[in-house]
């Protein structure tokens, strides 16, 4: 199949985007447990959060229930074992309870500063959000929250603000401003704690939150109140129409009919309503809203209709939110063990029927989406499942876990799936597992076969072994 695609690409039968998409999909489908890359976890509690930095794609930030946070270098290994075939990655820095400024209770969320790796943010059940200097491992800013912190998030595309969105057991979403060291403002609307926060990848001002009340709300942080509440009963089938087709359809639907002009009819209706025929003022305002573009499309902000304000996206708490890379769709998971795919533009439920899964309902989970938005990786108790985003069918299942999986992260740069889990043996061991594509495994094995002798002295031979991220010196006796 690969050679067929290459031939089609050379002959011009296959577009470059289609070729790269097929190649990525083929590599993702070959993900398997890595046997030559190992993370030495310093955590002694369940790993709750994983994130690779967005600038270099090199440093992995993890947070755990033992009140610790750690940073790993995923490209350069700390040491090698089994003749240099197993790369072991130890933590570059660890912040735990013994640290003078460390958290006291479980760290539920850890987030890199989007611009560079000089700062990272941790949120904890001790009611604090800390902003850390990576180089000095010191807290440079602290925000005291009214309850347990479930989630922290920063916009990956923001250029006009430095806000941390925080979801806590309080009903209000608070925006912490790194620039001023104070709260920018609060977002009120949820009726229970907020377990999920996700910034839009197409607008730096739009924030999406999921609460324990089952509601998913859209916020424009420049305004007061949310402008949309997702309703699982409001649906549309299939993918969104291409932009060109939608614009043509909308233009045809709004074209002016023959005969008397629409504006003249509208003026006549308004004149009739204002002539004192017993019609209430509210009816007149509703008619005015319809004339301006339709009642259904109006953003009722901040005076949203009661029926819309009470809409729910899940029958239970919303435990996770994740946008696709193109910013067009939103994935949500709930304590009702359901996954839903939403069209961000229209706010409709796309009715993708994901296969039945069992999800954690007592805490938030972390989803991951492939680079081409073809697959979504979901922690399903003791396994991780990859679902096709458009059919809902299970494409891959990763089984190597002995207890619940809390979070996962897909690294687009290396096409590696990193999963946080906890493993029970003779004593509690909390580890990171890494899954790698077959193509990278073959590349590594091929590189490991190329060995050049540098120096031979008596019974000692020094050799350099090339591997995926550089050269390693071996001493053979």
Asked whether 92 and 84 are in contact (CB, 8 A), the reply is: no
Residue 268 has a pLDDT of 53
Q: Are residues 44 and 174 in the same domain?
A: yes
Domain count, the chain: 2
Per the domain annotation, does 441 fall within a domain?
yes
Nearest to 230 by CA among 290, 318, 357, 147: 318
Q: 66: which DSSP letter?
A: T
Residue 249 has a pLDDT of 53
Residue 418 has a pLDDT of 63
Give the residue ranges of DSSP H helices in 93-233. Answer: none
Question: For residue 46, with 0-12 CB atoms within 10 Å meaning exposed, 13-18 middle and 19 or more buried, which class applies?
Answer: buried
- What CATH number is given to the structural domain containing 160? 2.130.10.10
Q: Are residues 224 and 259 in the same domain?
A: no
Q: Rounded to an integer, what distance in angstroms lies between the CA atom of residue 413 and that of residue 56?
A: 9
Q: Rounded to an integer, what distance in angstroms lies between the CA atom of residue 71 and that of residue 118?
A: 12
DSSP characters over 173-191: EEEEETTTTEEEEEE---S
Q: Are residues 129 and 202 in the same domain?
A: yes
Q: Rounded to an integer, what distance in angstroms lies between the CA atom of residue 86 and that of residue 254?
A: 64
Q: Are residues 285 and 381 in the same domain?
A: no
Q: Rounded to an integer, what distance in angstroms lies between the CA atom of residue 179 and that of residue 162?
A: 6
Per the domain annotation, does 296 fall within a domain?
no
DSSP characters over 358-398: ---SSS--B-EE-TTSSEEEEEETTEEEEEETTT--EEEEE
Q: Are residues 279 and 391 in the same domain?
A: no
* Residue 265: its H or E element: helix 262-273
Q: Rounded to an integer, what distance in angstroms lies between the CA atom of residue 75 and that of residue 54?
A: 14
Cα 382 to Cα 25, 36, 80, 234, 426, distances in angstroms: 25, 23, 29, 33, 19
Q: Are residues 220 and 257 in the same domain?
A: no
Q: Are residues 169 and 259 in the same domain?
A: no
Asked whether 173 and 165 are in contact (CB, 8 A), the reply is: yes
Give me 287's structure tokens.
């008619």
Q: What is the largest CA-CA distance in the chain?
A: 110
Per the domain annotation, does 455 fall within a domain?
no
Residue 376 has a pLDDT of 92
Residue 265 has a pLDDT of 52
Residue 283 has a pLDDT of 41
Q: What angle do CA 72, 77, 83 make, to 5 degrees?
A: 145
Q: Are residues 276 and 400 in the same domain?
A: no
Structural domain of 256: 243-291
Q: Are residues 235 and 118 in the same domain?
A: yes
Q: Are residues 100 and 144 in the same domain?
A: yes
Give the contacts of 72 (CB within 8 A, at least 6 positions apart). Answer: 39, 59, 60, 62, 89, 90, 91, 92, 432
Q: Are residues 248 and 230 in the same domain?
A: no
Grouped pLDDT means (10 residues each) for the chain, 477 residues: 76 79 74 81 90 92 94 90 82 93 95 94 96 95 96 94 95 95 92 95 95 95 91 77 53 50 50 44 41 38 62 93 92 94 93 88 89 87 89 87 85 65 37 62 42 36 37 38
């Amino acid at each position: 199949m690969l050679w067929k695609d290459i031939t089609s690409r050379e002959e011009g039968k296959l577009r470059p985007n289609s070729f790269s998409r097929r190649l990525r999909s083929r590599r993702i489908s070959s993900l398997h447990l890595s046997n030559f890359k190992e993370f030495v976890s310093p955590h002694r509690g369940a790993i709750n959060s994983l994130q690779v930095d967005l600038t270099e794609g090199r440093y992995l930030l993890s947070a755990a229930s033992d009140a610790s946070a750690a940073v790993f270098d995923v490209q350069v290994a700390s040491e090698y074992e089994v003749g240099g075939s197993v790369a072991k990655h130890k933590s570059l820095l660890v912040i735990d309870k013994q640290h003078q400024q460390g958290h006291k209770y479980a760290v539920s969320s850890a987030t890199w500063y989007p611009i560079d790796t000089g700062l990272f943010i941790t949120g904890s059940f001790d009611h604090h959000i800390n902003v850390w200097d990576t180089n000095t491992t010191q807290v440079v800013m602290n925000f005291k929250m009214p309850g347990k912190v479930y989630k922290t998030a920063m916009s990956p595309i923001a250029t006009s603000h430095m806000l941390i969105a925080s979801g806590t057991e309080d009903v209000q979403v608070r925006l912490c401003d790194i620039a001023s060291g104070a709260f920018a403002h609060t977002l009120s609307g949820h009726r229970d704690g907020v377990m999920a926060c996700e910034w839009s990848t197409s607008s730096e001002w739009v924030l999406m939150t999921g609460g324990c009340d089952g509601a998913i709300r859209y916020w424009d942080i420049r305004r007061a109140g949310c402008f949309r509440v997702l309703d699982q009963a409001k649906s549309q089938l299939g993918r969104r129409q291409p932009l060109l087709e939608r614009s043509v359809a909308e233009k045809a639907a709004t074209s002016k009919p023959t005969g008397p002009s629409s504006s003249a009819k509208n003026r006549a209706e308004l004149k009739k309503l204002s002539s004192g025929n017993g019609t209430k003022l509210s009816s007149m305002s509703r008619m005015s809203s319809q004339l301006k573009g339709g009642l259904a499309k109006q953003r009722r902000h901040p005076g949203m209709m009661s029926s819309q304000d009470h809409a729910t996206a899940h029958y239970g708490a919303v435990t996770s939110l994740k946008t696709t890379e193109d910013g067009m769709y939103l994935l949500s998971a709930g304590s009702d063990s359901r996954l839903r795919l939403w069209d961000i533009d229209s706010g409709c439920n796309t009715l993708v029927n994901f296969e039945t899964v069992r999800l954690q309902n007592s805490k938030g989970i972390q989803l991951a989406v492939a680079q081409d938005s073809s697959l979504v990786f979901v922690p399903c108790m003791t396994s991780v499942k990859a679902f096709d985003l458009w059919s809902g069918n299970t494409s891959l299942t990763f089984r190597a876990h002995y207890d619940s999986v809390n979070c996962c992260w897909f690294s687009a740069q290396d096409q590696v799936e990193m999963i946080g889990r906890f493993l029970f043996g003779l004593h509690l061991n909390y580890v990171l597992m890494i899954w790698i594509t077959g193509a990278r495994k073959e590349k590594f094995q091929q590189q490991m076969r190329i060995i050049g002798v540098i120096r031979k002295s008596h019974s000692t031979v020094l050799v350099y072994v090339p591997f995926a991220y550089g050269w390693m010196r071996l001493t053979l006796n």
